[in-house]
Amino acid sequence: MQIVKLPKQNLDKFIKSLSKFGQIYAPIKKDANTSLFSKIEDSSQIDLGYNRTLLPPKKYLLPPIDSMFRFSAEAGYEEVEHGVDEKSILFGVHSCDIHGLRILDLVFSGRYVDNHYFTGRKNTSIIGLSCIPDDMCFCRSMGTDFVENGFDLFLSDIDQSYLVRIATSLGDDMVRASQSLFKEVGKEEIEKHKKKSNEMQKHFKTDIELYNLPEIMDLEYESKTWEEIGEKCLSCGSCSMVCPTCYCYDVFDELSLDGKTGERKTRWDSCLFEDYALVAGGTNFRSERSARVKNRYFHKHRGFVAQYGKPSCVGCGRCIQSCPAKINVVEVITKIRSDAYV
Ligand code: SF4
Ligand code: SF4
C-alpha cells in the first residue's frame, strides 16, 4: 500500500479537489456534544476531532426511511429515483465504522444479494480518518481499531500532517488529481506515526474479553442476568437505531387519502421493539423484554459469529451513549462471563 503525506495546511485545497469525485459527506458539529455526518462544501465545516457521530455513515447506504417503489391502480408499479447512482464521498470515517460497513457488505451479499445497497456502495468512496478513543470505545477488543481495507484513502493524524494510505485506484486518482498537495513520507513521519499509534493505545479505558464468548452465551442462555437487564430496558430501540451493524428494516405501504396511489417504503426496525416478533394470529415469539434483550446479544455475539466468523459489533460505543436506561454492552458481556465462572 502506498503512503504519502498531506500537510494539514493543504487539507482545504484537497477537499475542494475531491468535489470532482462526488458530493462530500463528512462529520460536522451539531452542538457541543453531538456530531453528525452531513453534506459539506468546504473543510472548515468538518469536525475533524469527533469521537462518534450520532448515526453511523450507514445512513447513506441504508437510509432510516427509504422508498422501494410507487404504485397506482392505473400505472401499476413505478420505480423511484434514489440517487444511488450519484457519486459520493464519505470523508472522515473512523476505522470502526469502516468495519461496520464491511459487516453490512457481508450481510447484503449473502443468500439474497441487495442490488440497491450495492449500487450505492459502488458509487460511494470512503476516506478514513484516525481517531482518539474515549471511555465508551472498545474497538480494540473487537479488532476494529485498525482497518486494512474497505477504504480508498485513510488519513492518520501525525500533528502537522496526515499520513495518507492509498488503498484503491480511485484513491490513487484522488491523490494524483492534486499531486502538488502531497509530499513523500520520510523516516521522521514514520516515527511520528508510530508514536501517535502508541499514544492512541494509551487512551483505551474499556476492553471486553471475547475468548469463548459464543460458548459462554450458550451456557448462560437461562442466566437471570437477562431478566435483570430486561427489567431495565425500555424497548425504545435506540441501541439498534444508532448501531453501524444493525440492518433490520420493516416494510410498509403509505397510501394516498383516496387509496388510489401509494408508496412502498422501508423503515429501520429494532429487535427490541415489542412488536418485532409479532406474527399473524397475534403470537409474539419475544413478548418479554428480557427475551428481546437476550436476542440482540445472541445475534451479535453468538449467531453472527457462527454464520460469519466474527461478531456483528465493532465496539463504537454508540449504544452505550444512547441508552436511556444506561444498559452498557461491555458490562452486560462482563456479567454474563462472570455468571459462567461462579
Ligand atoms: S452493538 Fe453498540 S458498540 Fe457494538 S457496534 Fe452496535 S452500537 Fe456499536
Ligand atoms: S437503548 Fe437501552 S433501553 Fe432502549 S432498547 Fe436498547 S437497551 Fe433497551
Is residue 75 predicted with pLDDT exceeding 80?
Answer: yes
If we measure between CA atoms, which residue out of 96, 95, 97, 92 comes closest to residue 29?
92
Please report the pLDDT score of residue 188 as a whole number: 94
**Residue bearing the CA closest to ligand 2, atom 1:** 323
For 226-257, what is each residue's pLDDT tens digit? 999 999 999 999 999 999 999 999 999 999 99
For 283-310, what is each residue's pLDDT tens digit? 999 999 999 999 999 999 999 999 999 9
pLDDT band at 204 (very low <50, low <70, confident <90, very high): very high
**Residue bearing the CA closest to ligand 2, atom 8:** 233
Pocket test for ligand 2, best of 327, 328, 331, 333 (most atoms within 8 A of CB): 327
Provide the CA 304 distance to its chain's centre, in angstroms.
16
Cell numbers of 191, please? Answer: 516515527
221 C-alpha to center of ligand 1: Å?
A: 21
The three-point CA angle 193-1-26 to 5° equals 70
321 C-alpha to center of ligand 1: Å?
A: 10
Residue 275 DSSP one-character state? T
For 49-72, what is each residue's pLDDT tens digit? 999 999 999 999 999 999 999 999
| Ligand that comes closest to the CA of residue 289 | 2
Q: Is 144 touching ligand 2 by the criterion CB < 6 Å?
A: no
Q: Is 6 touching ligand 2 by the criterion CB < 6 Å?
A: no
User: To which H or E segment does residue 162 belong?
Assistant: strand 161-166
**Residue bearing the CA closest to ligand 1, atom 2:** 319
Please report the pLDDT score of residue 84 as a whole number: 75
**Residue bearing the CA closest to ligand 2, atom 6:** 239
311 C-alpha to center of ligand 2: Å?
A: 19
Q: Which atom of ligand 1 is nearest to the CA of 320?
A: 2
Q: Which atom of ligand 2 is nearest to the CA of 240?
A: 6
CA distance 161 to 46: 16
**Average pLDDT of the residues in 189-198:** 95
Average pLDDT, the chain: 95
Q: From residue 249, how far is each of 62, 64, 222, 241, 266 by CA, in Å?
A: 9, 9, 28, 10, 6
Q: Which atom of ligand 1 is nearest to the CA of 100?
A: 5
User: Which residue is associated with the grid cell 409479532?
Assistant: 278
SS3 236: coil
CA distance 140 to 286: 33
Q: Is 233 touching ligand 2 by the criterion CB < 6 Å?
A: yes
SS3 252: strand
pTM: 0.96
User: To which H or E segment does residue 228 belong?
Assistant: helix 224-232
Please report the pLDDT score of residue 342 as a whole number: 67
Residue 59 DSSP one-character state? G
**Average pLDDT of the residues in 125-153:** 97
Cell numbers of 89, please? Answer: 464521498
CA distance 20 to 194: 33
319 C-alpha to center of ligand 2: Å?
A: 8
Residue 185: which residues within 8 A CB-CB, separation 6 or more? Answer: 3, 4, 5, 163
For 92-134, what is each residue's pLDDT tens digit? 999 999 999 999 999 999 989 999 999 999 999 999 999 999 9
Q: Which atom of ligand 1 is nearest to the CA of 312?
A: 5
Please report the pLDDT score of residue 81 as a whole number: 79
CA distance 252 to 80: 16
**Residue bearing the CA closest to ligand 2, atom 4:** 236
Domain residue extents for the chain: 2-62+76-203, 213-340
Pocket test for ligand 1, best of 243, 247, 301 (most atoms within 8 A of CB): 243
Q: Which atom of ligand 2 is nearest to the CA of 319?
A: 1
The answer to whether the beta carbons of residues 322 and 238 sit under 8 Å apart is yes
